[in-house]
Amino acid sequence: MSDKKITKSRFWFEEHEVETISEVPNKKIKPWASDAKLDVVGKPISRIDGPDKVSGRAKYTFDRLLPDTAIAKTLRCPFPHARIKKIDFSKALKLPGVLAVITNEDAPSIPWFHESTLFDSHARYQGDEIACVAAENEAIAEAALKLIDVEYEKLAFVSSAAQGMKNNTPKLYDSGNIHHGKPTIYQRGDAVSGFKEADVIVEDTFTTQCAVHNPLEPHGSLVKWDSDHLTVWDSTQSVFGVRGKVAESLGIPENNVRIIKQYMGGGFGSKLEAGKYTVMAALLAKKLKRPVKIVMDRQEMNLAMGNRPDSTQTIKAGVKKDGTISALSQKSFGAAGAYPSGTGTSWPLRSMYQCPNIYTEEYTVFINAGPGRPFRAPGHVQGTFAFESLLEQAAAKIKMDPLEFRIKNYAEIDQVGNVPYTSKRLRECYELGAKAIGWNKRNKIAGSGKGSIRHGIGMASQIWWGGGGPPAKATMKLTADGQLQVFSGTQDLGTGSYTFIAMVAAEVLEIPMDKIKVVLGDTEICPYAPGSGGSVTAPSVSPAIRDAAEQMKYKLLSFAAVLSHEPIENMRYKNGVITSVNMSSTKYKIEDLVGKLSEKEIVTHGDREANPEGMAIQTFGAQFADVDVDMDTGKIKVNRMVAAHDIGRMLNRKLLENQFHGGIIQGMSFALLEERVIDNNTGKVLSTNLHDYKIPTIADIPEIEVIIASDSDPKISNTGVKGIGEPAIIPTAGAIANAVYNAIGVQVKDLPMTPDKVLKALGNA
């Protein structure tokens, strides 16, 4: 019988339930016990790729250049809405150093992209692609763009979702500005009856801004053809995803496309999709018979490479005098940009707290602006801010402590799927986080402090999936010099993939980490792994690594048993040495064993097992904020953040702290600073650089304490790991907003909470 089987498995990737058919282990490896004394896993080990990154030895896509590489730049529409009537690039081609120009006439259809064309004659946002130029260097390419004559027919534009919702507004599509022409509706129970049962009803409207990813390394690709085979060095979160889409666009077999991504300087979800720019570079490289590199500049990043959509959310809660939530409803809309993207914000309301009666209605609205893309917990960050802010109102209305109110409505099962959780430690998160922040010192009545500087403490809860699932594969190769190579098709990103993979292998095989080389992000030499988004990387990949390592250990024991003429049950493995319980003289180092084999290497292939049926895998957490608010200037200062989370097993304490610090800083930035600004008169984006688009400096960073309330989730996989990339950011803005409310006694309901909005809220109060 094979040691593998083919089965179906389900897991949540962001807001979509994914069903996969994949090869999984026929016999499950016993998960590490929650109280297992592990030697490597869980320890605060520094990144093994850290020295390369800080020294500059690490090669990012941005750094790579091949001999004879041409540089490509994209001509983008300068208007929010226009039709291209005529385009003339003859002047550009005459410029010395210009090699080629491609427009819609040269480009194939790309069925995976929204408008199915590489260059659309109907430009729907400022930054939409019009043409692409290849030249000997970047300066010449940029000069050539200015020489392309385009005759535009300027069209009326839509600059906000609220405008796009109106009947008499300009239309981006013949079918209108509402995606699918109707809202997405969710309901359970009877919300109307639930509100009638309530003693108190609170209702309010909250808005969140559009935020741009702005990773440090911009999007880009370097491409090279060898006959009919294409190699792409790409800054991507999904090497196999990009391979499929690029091959489809070019009409060539996937096996003819190789995607390589060794390191990546940030993505946050914006790099999960294949980019038009990669296809452009491939077409130009084919035409020129030389490598082509294309990298976005900061303006392109802010205009065209994706964003977190804005939202307007009207939420209503019905609450009984004892604190029980009897009904919830939410009506919301958000701007998808010019092409379809998700804008839903209702998942936290549907699933966070116990409530039998819920109704949500969500509209995704097209406007003349850059397209939305997944952005670190898409929808949850916006939805959690609004929902947790309304719960603060509800608790105040019935004179109940906000933390007690949340505990009162604690959900014991997953209400959306009506199934139990594999694990849930949110109560412990509440207890540990409240103690660490000094919850008992908060203002019992919001705004009851004195003086011009008001102090406040607030909190918010978090739910996210992050369970991962198959298919995720790993290959290991052990050679006669004792070196272990580990291959995985996953990607390097904030998770610290190189390090946690080496740690899991070292834990099982009990060998030093400096004897392990991890190879990632190469579709030609690495086995399949999913895209790195939705907090699925570590929970998907780490079980496959352990599976391959356990197989390697078993093979070594088997070889030793054959050599010593003993049953395998008599062999013992410790610290890379195999001994016999009966023969004290029998001792094999693993390199000696491999050296005795004809092939001088042992290879194993590991797989991630299927997820358990009939159970929901979720992460949980609570974050607590300590803030000061200047009543004279409206400025908010975040003094301290405490993040208490249930994330299954911790693989590496230091990497985990890195992830949480990054997520909390990004969440604080969303709460207080970041915003894409569009001029409603011209439809143009005003914040296209990192001078006008505000993000925190080191002086803005508060003290951050991270508390992990879980030890493992053995029901989900052999490593018991859940993802933390998204949980780290989800409750931050909500916690800060509630701390501000606790300090000044009025809510700031519109993000970002800039000083003018604080002063306006105080003035209105």
* 2: pLDDT strictly greater than 70: no
536 and 633 together in one domain: no
68 and 55 together in one domain: no
747 and 658 together in one domain: yes
* 3: pLDDT strictly greater than 90: no
Distance CA 376, CA 670 (A): 12
653 and 762 together in one domain: yes
pLDDT attached to residue 471:
96
Q: Is 23 part of any domain? A: yes
* First-residue to last-residue Cα distance in the chain: 73
- Spatial neighbors of 343 by CB under 8 A, at least 6 apart, are 309, 311, 333, 334, 335, 336, 362, 363, 364, 365, 372, 379
Are the CB atoms for 159 and 368 separated by under 8 Å?
yes
Last residue of a domain, one of 607, 624, 652: 607
Its pTM stands at 0.97
Distance CA 711, CA 719 (A): 11
pLDDT attached to residue 625:
99
pLDDT attached to residue 732:
98
Q: Is 167 part of any domain? A: no
Q: Is 435 part of any domain? A: yes
3 C-beta neighbours (distance < 10 Å), count: 12
* 1: pLDDT strictly greater than 60: no
569 and 629 together in one domain: no
- pLDDT, one tens digit per residue, over 550-575 is 999 999 999 999 999 999 999 999 99
Last residue of a domain, one of 607, 633, 666: 607
**403-411: long-range contacts, CB 8 A cutoff, minimum separation 24:** 403/430, 403/434, 403/439, 403/459, 404/323, 405/323, 406/353, 406/430, 406/461, 408/322, 408/323, 408/324, 409/323, 409/324, 409/325, 409/353, 409/354, 409/355, 410/353, 410/354, 411/351, 411/352, 411/353, 411/354
Distance CA 98, CA 65 (A): 18
- pLDDT, one tens digit per residue, over 601-656 is 999 999 999 999 999 999 999 999 999 999 999 999 999 999 999 999 999 999 99
Q: Is 345 part of any domain? A: no
573 and 657 together in one domain: no
150 and 280 together in one domain: yes
Q: Is 194 part of any domain? A: no
573 and 634 together in one domain: no
- pLDDT, one tens digit per residue, over 164-189 is 999 999 999 999 999 999 999 999 99
552: nearest Cα among 490, 605, 595: 605
Q: How many domains does the chain have?
A: 3
Can you read off the two tokens belonging to residue 116? Answer: 């199915």
- Spatial neighbors of 146 by CB under 8 A, at least 6 apart, are none
* 436: pLDDT strictly greater than 60: yes
* 112: pLDDT strictly greater than 70: no
Are the CB atoms for 263 and 60 separated by under 8 Å?
yes
Distance CA 266, CA 750 (A): 27
3-state secondary structure 637-691: EEEEEEEEEECECCCCHHHHHHHHHHHHHHHHHHHHCCCCCECCCCCCECCCCCC
- pLDDT, one tens digit per residue, over 347-404 is 999 999 999 999 999 999 999 999 999 999 999 999 999 999 999 999 999 999 999 9
In whole numbers, what is the pLDDT of the chain averaged over residues?
95
444 C-beta neighbours (distance < 10 Å), count: 10
Task: Quickly state the pLDDT bin for 23 (edges 50, 70, 90).
Answer: confident
Query: What share of the chain in percent tops pLDDT 90?
Result: 92
| Angle between helix 653-672 and 380-397 (nearest 10) | 70
- pLDDT, one tens digit per residue, over 445-484 is 999 999 999 999 999 999 999 999 999 999 999 999 999 9
pLDDT attached to residue 108:
67
pLDDT attached to residue 644:
98
Tell me which residue range forms the domain holding 552: 4-60+468-607
Q: Is 641 part of any domain? A: yes
pLDDT attached to residue 115:
58
Distance CA 12, CA 75 (A): 38
281-303: buried (b, 16+ CB within 10 Å) or exposed (e) per residue? bbbbbebbebbbbbbbbeebbbb
pLDDT attached to residue 184:
97
Mean pLDDT of 681-695: 97
589 and 445 together in one domain: no
pLDDT attached to residue 283:
95
Q: Is 408 part of any domain? A: no
DSSP code string of 142-168: HHHHHH-EEEEEE-----SHHHHTSTT
9: nearest Cα among 591, 543, 383: 543
489 and 573 together in one domain: yes
81 and 224 together in one domain: yes
579 and 477 together in one domain: yes
Q: Which residue has the higher pLDDT, 334 or 582?
A: 334
Q: Is 412 part of any domain? A: no
Distance CA 132, CA 680 (A): 29
Are the CB atoms for 537 and 714 separated by under 8 Å?
no
Which element (helix H / strand E) includes 242?
helix 239-250
Q: Specify the CATH number for the domain of residue 599.
A: 3.30.365.10
Last residue of a domain, one of 246, 281, 304: 304
Helices (H) and strands (E) in the chain, counts: 18, 32
Query: Looking at the chain, how many residues does it have?
Result: 765
Task: Quickly state the pLDDT bin for 297 (edges 50, 70, 90).
Answer: very high
Can you read off the two tokens belonging to residue 48? Answer: 């093994």
